[in-house]
Amino acid sequence: MNGGRRSDEGRDAGLFVRKGDPMSASHLVVLPSTDRESPAARIRRLQDEARELAQEQLDLLNAALAEVGRLSGEIAEGGELYPIGARELARRLVEDSAKQAFALSAIIERS
């Protein structure tokens, strides 16, 4: 035992455990964090993270539009296997999803 002196041994996440003492709540000492992030730095970090997540979601939307276009094209060209109304709707979706994907790409590039 080291008589309760603080050392770097046993430090983890701001907690200190006396060397040689059994691990129990009464033997834990909470140390103040010295590497605390300032509120302004935290705001910047969270805003950057939010921007990255928004970009990921836009990429997912773009991929989903491409998938709608692909599936719609297959149905539109599927012939008699699909009802005429479904084929017509699919033809319109092919065109519309391509236009929307193009518009979304332009918006992403501008921002």
Among 45, 63, 55, residue whose Cα is nearest residue 108:
55
CB 5: neighbour CB atoms within 10 A? 8
DSSP letters along 41-107, please?
HHHHHHHHHHHHHHHHHHHHHHHHHHHHHHHHHHHHT-GGGS-HHHHHHHHHHHHHHHHHHHHHHHH
- φ, ψ of residue 98 to 5 degrees: the values are -65, -45
Q: Report yes or no on whether pTM surpasses 0.95.
A: no
What's the mean pLDDT when you consider all of the chain?
Answer: 83
Reported as a single tens digit per residue, the pLDDT across 25-46 is: 666 777 676 788 999 999 999 9
